[in-house]
Each structure stands twice: as C-alpha cells, then as structure tokens.
Chain A
Amino acid sequence: MQIFEKITAHLENRPTELKRLKEKGRKVIGYFPGDYVPEEIIYASGAIPVCLCHGGNPRPVGAALSVTTRFICPFARALIGDRLIGEQPFYNLVDMLVTPVTCQHLRRAADIWQHHSGLPVFRLGVPMENNEQGLKYYRDRLNDLNNKLQVFTGQAVTDESLWKAIELYNTLRSLLKRISLLRKNSAPAISTIDFIKLNHASFYADPVFMVDILSSLIKELEQSVNKDEKGDNLRLLITGPNIAFGDYKVLEIANELGAQVVAEEFFEGVRYYWGNVEQAGSPVEALANRYLANKVPNGVMPAAASGRYDFIAGLVKDFKVDGIIWYQLLFCETYDIESYYFAHKMKQLGIPVLKIQSDYDVLDRGSIKTRMEAFVEMLNKERSSD
C-alpha cells in the first residue's frame, strides 16, 4: 500500500524537517504519552508537538540503569535511555518537555531528563480522581501550560488559534476512529499492527499531512471492505498500560499464530481517538473536559477499574472478541494490580485473558510465543466445541 510508504518516508524526513523549522525559530515540544497533554495547546502556540513514545528496544532500557534502578518500567527506562544515548533523533530535537504526572515512573523519567540535559520541563498535574475539584485543578494547570508556552515560544495563543488546533486534532482523531471501526468487520480491512503503526505515526508526523493521508487511506479501506467475506480467524483484543512505537513483538507473534488482533485499548502509546473535544464554551475548559473527564480513566487512577472494565467489555462485544491479551510491562505496579480484577471480571463474561509480561527483552520472544500458542490453541478448541 503506497500510503504506508508515504508515511514511512515522511517520518524518515521529519527530523530533518523539524531541524529546519527550529532554525527558523519554531520550538519542538516533546511530551510523554498517556493522553493528558493536549497537543492543541502546543500547536496553537506555534510550537510543534511530538509525543515521545518509542519503546521495545532493550538498548536504551539497559542504558538507563546508569542513572536509575531497574524497578522502573521498561518504557520509562527507554525514555530515559534514549535521551541519554542520543540515538533517537526526535528526542534530541526537543526544546522543552511536558510530562503528565500520571505515574511515578514517568515523573522520574522527566526528572532525569531535566537533571541530565537541563531542558525546561513542565509538569502537568493529573488529578487521580475524576471529580469537580480534580477537573478544576487540571483546567488551571492547562492554563499554566498555556501561559508557559506563550512565553517560551513568544507567540500569543488566542481562542481562535486554539479552536483551529482543536478542529485539526478532532479531525485526526475522527479519522483514526473510522479506521479503527473497520476492524469490526469479520474480515477486517486493516490489521491492528498496521492500525497501531498509523496511530503511532500520528504522534510524530505533521498533523496536516496525517489528516490528508488518513483521509486517502480511509477511502481505500472503505472500498476494499467486503462485508460478505467471512474471516474465521480468532479475534483478540490487546490491552494494558502501554504499547510503544516499535514495541510490536506481541502483535507480530499473534499474526504468526494466525490469530487476529482486532482491537486495542492502551493508556500510553496509542492516541485516544474515542472522543473529541466539544467545540463549545471556552477552549481550555473544553480541552479539560475531553482530556480528563469525558474518557476512559487510566489504570493508574485508584478507582478506575470498573470504568475501564465496562469500556473494554463494550469493545469485546462490538468487535466480537474471543480472547484478550493483557500486555503488562514489568514493574508497572498499578496495572499489574488491576490485571487481576480485570481477568476475574472477564472470566465472568466468559472471555479468557492471557497476561504477557515484557521487559523489552529480546530473549523472551520464545517464551511469549509458547504461551500465546497455548492460549490460541485453547481458544480454538473452545470455538470448535461451541
């Protein structure tokens, strides 16, 4: 598909393009994932938002051990290590970092970035309870971020520029959602690994380019969908705390085993496309509502489990899922706790859950494959006995 080639070429050229824009005075604002840092605010300030979400590679994970201990999750260690070893071009271009304060691992990764590189860092507090007081706090912090960015870029942010940015990102999310929903079909027009790669690309690419390319892609995909075609592969959903750019091991193994992953739900790494910013009221308020209140809570939040379970149970039904893979990053303690409740509840629905742990270690591929093979076999047996 030519479109994927275009995206690859765009991403390859993007660091050079960013360098050029920086020379002209534009700022690159890196931010950590988790869908709490509204790119709209960064974009409206004239800066270029880049979500730093690379992972899956053991090299930076190991490098991070020179400055912190091993009980930090591999994704946070990758963020640290990639900045330390300087081999990740996007990371080297960052002028300022915005980190959502969601978990201790990300919080510390930001500290290490600041300590070792001297970059300015803005810490965006994310209240861990979704209530009125929390929403007000978050909204105030978005205003602080907005002010900080205006000073940093020297460009005023107006309501008009914010609404424009909101419109752009709403379009981007809507396109991703339409593509995602195509996987409901019994013979999905796009694989989940490709969908996640598109989603990941949207964090680094120029959003205008991305909107264009997704618009073309959706036309192609919608034409290619054959609603009568019957796919008989197993249908899996993958969920967990984080799936990073480059961390495709489990998805590849699922493909190798002939199981189709048809849906995903992740806190970090995947752009949240299920809801848009309502274009009413003040833009910052609208952003606060979208990014904190009106969405599935993240699993670090203490009282998130039932909301998250309900959402995923809905996906299971809509996407006709046979089984779930819980992709757990090692030492991500909150999601690990939630995984037990989740598996327990899914069992009541009759949906088996396989938990796969990863430390981005290349050597664990064999054991992960063996466990997934057994899981797929079990699901196939269950299907044939139905």
Chain B
Amino acid sequence: MIDKYLELCGYKPEEIKSQLPRVEKAFTILGLTDFDVERGQERISGFFDTNLKGVRRILGVLVRELVDLTLAKEEGGRWIYSSPPSACADILTAASLGNKDIHVAFPDLLFVLTMGMMFDKLDPIMEAAEGLYLEPGMAHCSLIQTRLGLYARNLIPRAVLQVSVGLICDENPKADASFEEFFGIPVQYLLRSQDKDWEESGRIQRHIEFLAKNLKRMVERVGEAAGGEITDDMLNQARKMARDFSKPMRQILEMGVNCDPPPISSAFVHLMRAINGMPLNRHNHEIAVEGANILCQELQERVNKGEGVVPKGSPRVLHGYVQSYVDPGIVVALEKMGISAPIEEVQLYEPDGRFSPDISGIEDPNYRLAAVLTQASIFNSLPVKSRVTIEACRRYKLDGCLWLVHYSCRPIMSDSYMMKDIVQKELGIPFMVLETDVYDPRYNRNRQLRPQLEAFAEMVKSYKASLR
C-alpha cells in the first residue's frame, strides 16, 4: 500500500526500494494505517492533477520532509524551527548549509500539509494541544495548536532554537514564548509594530529600519544556535536555492494568471507557494526544483493545446486572503463550478496589486527583505489592503472576490467585512466572506460551505454575463 502511495507521490522505483523502510517506520510512528494511506491516495488524487509528473514529484517532497522530521528523534541532528509567515526561511536554510548536523523545518505547516491535508489525520495532534493548554473555545490558532500538539505528543525533537515570526499576529510569538517556558526551547523573535496610519503608504522608513535591524539580530542568533556564523555567502546560496524553486513556480503562477483557461488548479499553485515558503532539507529541495521544472514544461504543453481547469472565457476571482492549507477541495469545487481563482491576496504588493514590491535602490539584503515585507498587502493597513485588492481586480480583470478567512486569525478575519464594504462600494463586484479554519481538518467545512460557494458562483457568473 505504501509503495503505491509513494509512486503516486512521484518516487522513482529505485527510490521506493531504498526508502520504503524509512517511510514505513515513520508512518508507524505517526500511526498511519493502510486505511489512512488509501484515504491519502484518494485525497491527493481528488485535490490535485496527479497525472502530471511534476505534481507527483512535488507532492513527494512533502512526504520526504515528513519522514525526515518524524525519524529525527532516532536519527539525531539538531533542529531549528520556524513557522509562517516565512520571513526567515532563507536564514534557516543558510544555517543548515553551514553545518550538516543542523536541520530546519516549519514543523506545524509541514504536518498540516501532510497529516492534515494528505491523510486527514491531524485530530490527535490538535486534541493533544487542547488537552495541554490551548483549550478549545478560546479560538486559538490551529497552526499554533499543531505546533504544541507535536511537542505534546513527543513527535518531533525539541528545537535548539525557535525562530518566532510575529509580523502579523500576537499569538504566534506569545505561543513560542510559552514553549520556552514549558519546554525550555529558546526563542528569537522577529517582531514589528503595526502602526501604519491610514495616510501612510509605500516604503515607511521607520518600519524598514526596525525590521532590518531585527533581521540582522536574527541572522546572528540563528548562527549562534547552529554553532557557526552565518556568512553572506551562505545567505546568498540559500537565496539562490529559493530562487531555483520560485522561478519555475512563478512561471506556473503567471500561466494561471495570463492564460485562458489556466492550465492547472490554483490549489496546486497554492501548495507550491507553501512549499516555497518553507526551508527544505537540501536533497528534498533538489527534488522540489526538479518537480517544478518538469511541471512548467507539462503545463506549457497544456497551454499550447488550449487545455485548462475551467472552460475558456470562464469568470475569475481573487482569492483572499489565502486558500485553505488543509482543504484544497474548496478551490477545486469552485473550479468545477466553472470559476477560477488564479490569484491570492497574500501574494500581492502595494500600491496596485503587483506581484513584486519596490526595492529599487536598496542594497543591504536585510533592508531589502524588510522593504518586501512591509509592502506586502497582508502586512498592511486597511486602506492599503483594500486599494491593493481593488487595483488587482482591475489589473487582472477579476469578476469577484472570495474571502476565505481563518476564523481564529484575529488580524485577518477582523477586517474582512470592512474590506468587503470598501471593495464592493468601489467596484460593485460580488464579494463573499467565508469563515473557516485553514489548518484544522476538524473544522473542514468544505461541505457546509458548498451552498455558499454555489451562491457565490452564481453571483459571479451573472455579474460577468452582465458585462457582456
């Protein structure tokens, strides 16, 4: 059973042969039974186009990362962790380049994408977190619950350093602080102040300055934890590795935006973006790059033939703020209704919904990253976010906005109704806010959301028809 699963995940025959024992061992530790593996097969074939070799190869990267992390307690090594948003992924990768004993991961997101999305078996991990101290009823973020659950169930080694990114919410760093208190895991924070006034936009120097200095401290601290300085060369190499994957990914993303019909479901593009944001172990990174390049070619062929996931001329919507990590079925269902969602709000920048921020004239890499982060729509004030959304809808000729909000993410969910208000007033397009949990399969409300999705699809179709 497992070998079939690995085949579906793009493992080559010789890889299956050599790696099956490790995978079996890891799956046993994780409590994955034949039934789970079979269900996993059905799930990923339902969510993604596994006829594409590139898709399969990239899915395999997640399995490999899961196995590596699950066996880490036996196989040794020192681990440095972080979590989305992925502001520090390159720093982590750089640390792993300088020392073979150092491994890096975003354990929570990895488990959400594998145990959650692939196998629908995240419940015991969530319940373990709730049994410890992130109780249900308080709307704690399920990504953070996953992290605590992993420690509570003793599934992953304790990190030598947790890189805590508090750029969006308060809960992420606060939870990491609690892991330090309870489990003795040292933390280094990347924080910022979200005090942009509504008249302010663009490159705000005080924010860039503050963040860049924090990033510099982060590089030093991660280096200390890894047992050696992180040099500029190491950082550059890490950035190059990230670009090796992001370049074909970007081409795929652009095909989705520019081609009619888009050649691949945006659910998979979203998954690629999630993988792009995580630090990968070196060997797995190479496989991810290989998969992305293969997929790029496969999709170009589809584009040439005019094949795609929706009929040509179908309506297109902006997906805000982000797709569900645990249930890509929401977007797949929308596509089956004849609507594509090729762009996510989280990938847009001010002032006009572009895909790249303005970093012209900034040489220092920490300042460049700080400038990137401060101009991303998701990190911005309501007027900037709504302007980005409005301009993106105009620029990419979108026919509506589907706002899927992670209900326990205070910064994200709490402004959705104002966003709706502002965007609808200006553009008059359909805008639907749907509350869900993008990490916790127990609240996977795909089926419950279906009537609303159908209603939204109808609104979008009639809006588009009214333009003709």
Residues of A within 8 A of B (CB): 67-69, 71-72, 101, 103-105, 107-108, 111-112, 114-115, 121-129, 133, 137, 140-141, 300, 302-306, 330-331, 333-334, 336-338, 340-341
Contact = CB atoms under 8 A, between A and B. Distances in A.
B197 A104 contact: no
Contact of B191 (A71, A111, A128, A337): A128
Given A111-B415, A122-B197, A127-B191, 12 more contacts: A68-B417, A101-B194, A108-B414, A115-B422, A128-B166, A128-B173, A128-B193, A133-B210, A302-B173, A333-B141, A336-B135, A337-B174
Contacts of A333: 138-141, 170-171, 174, 408, 410
B14 interface: no
17 contacts: A71-B139, A71-B408, A71-B414, A104-B414, A123-B194, A123-B195, A125-B194, A125-B195, A127-B193, A127-B210, A128-B193, A129-B189, A305-B177, A333-B139, A333-B141, A337-B171, A341-B182
B193 A69 contact: no
B178 interface: yes
Nearest to B412: A104
B382 interface: yes
A341 B195 contact: no
A69 B413 contact: yes
A114 B198 contact: yes
B195 A124 contact: yes
A303 B177 contact: yes
When A and B form their complex, which 3 residue pairs have the shortest distance between CB atoms, in order from nearest?
A125-B193, A125-B195, A302-B173
Interface in B348-392: 381-382
Contacts of A302: 164, 166, 173-174, 176-177, 187, 189, 191
Interface in B198-233: 198, 206, 210, 213-214
B445 interface: no
A133 B180 CA distance: 23
A129 B271 CA distance: 34
Interface residues of B, number: 50
B229 to A, nearest CB: 21
B435 interface: yes
A337 B138 CA distance: 10
A71 B407 contact: yes
B414 to A, nearest CB: 4
A337 B213 contact: no
A112 B174 contact: no
A300 B139 CA distance: 16
Interface in B412-456: 413-418, 421-422, 435
Nearest to B168: A104
Contacts of B413: 69, 71
A69 B419 CA distance: 13
B410 A105 contact: yes
A303 to B, nearest CB: 5
Contacts of A124: 195
Nearest to A114: B198
Contacts of A67: 417-418
Contacts of B214: 133
A69 B181 contact: no
B198 A121 contact: yes
B169 interface: yes
Nearest to B194: A101
B176 A115 contact: no
Contact of A72 (B175, B180, B414): B414
A378 B180 CA distance: 32
Contacts of A127: 191, 193, 210
Given A302-B164, A302-B189, A333-B171, A111 B206 contact: no
Nearest to B193: A125
Nearest to B139: A71
A303 B420 CA distance: 36
A156 B210 CA distance: 29
A93 B452 CA distance: 41
B166 A137 contact: no
Contacts of A338: 174, 178
Contacts of B182: 341
B214 to A, nearest CB: 8
A122 B198 CA distance: 9
Nearest to B386: A115
Nearest to B169: A104
Nearest to B133: A340
A333 B173 CA distance: 11
Contacts of A104: 169-170, 410-411, 414
Contacts of A330: 138
